[in-house]
Amino acid sequence: MRKTYVQELNQLHDNLILLTKKVNASILKSVDAFIKEDRELAHELFSDDLRINALAAEMEKDTYRIIALQQPVASDLRMIFTVIHASTDLERMGDHAVSIAKATLRRTEDTSESKTVTKLLKDMADLVTQMSADVLKAYMAKDASMAKQIASRDEQVDALLKEVYREARIRMSQKTGEEVVEMGLGYIGVANNLERIGDYITNICERIVFLNTGEIVELN
């Protein structure tokens, strides 16, 4: 195999690892900013997202250049398109982190913060970022079975989402006032963004299965 071609494929792998780490960091930072009502930290997410978008765009450009100039064989071509789709999903996950940051900037001071809900949100963030880290391992190991197992954990994300809905409804029914309603809706909005991140991870899992088995599956 041509040396330059191998180097370019390795660079794609390295950039996918870097992109995953950047997105995971943004997700955790966005939820941390929301829970702590840290507007300064929330503002950092916008510049972080620009870097994520730039890296994703660079990866897309690189993949098309490899296809045009190196004429990869079928198996490599399938891998390259998996990287393209994965980078797109990761970039969208980063967009959801920005949405959480925007929710932080919109929220009013919560004088009676629900520790139960904030813990649920932290648990959701920890779960989806661990899934994202694990899906990268499945990709590198070419492990379709591992990808399916990771996708199955999206049910845990959905269960946590339902718990956030339940706790937010209880909170809004027990107390009155516009501030309480806005805060409850804010919690739900953050949870919805984290749930969508879980869905994007499942998409990547499906592509890993196809990459390694040729099987088209719907895991969610």
Domain residue limits, the chain: 1-213
* pLDDT digits (tens), the chain, 220 positions: 576 889 999 999 999 999 999 999 999 999 999 999 999 999 999 999 999 999 999 999 999 999 999 888 888 999 999 999 999 999 999 999 999 999 999 887 655 567 899 999 999 999 999 999 999 999 999 999 999 999 999 999 999 999 999 998 888 887 777 777 888 889 999 999 999 999 999 999 999 999 999 888 888 7
What pLDDT does residue 107 have? 82
Which of left, alpha, beta for 216 (phi over 0: left; psi -120 to 50: alpha)? beta
CA gap 126, 86 in Å, rounded:
20
- Position 110 scores a pLDDT of 58
- For residues 181 and 188, what is the distance between their CA atoms, to the nearest angstrom? 11
Q: Specify the fold of 1-213.
A: Methane Monooxygenase Hydroxylase; Chain G, domain 1 (1.20.58)
Residue 127, burial from CB neighbour count under 10 angstroms (0-12, 13-18, 19+):
buried
Sign of torsion, CA 100 102 106 109? positive
Distances (CA, A) of 13 to 9, 82, 143, 197: 6, 11, 16, 21
Task: Determine the pLDDT at residue 135.
Answer: 95
What pLDDT is stored for residue 180 in this prediction? 76
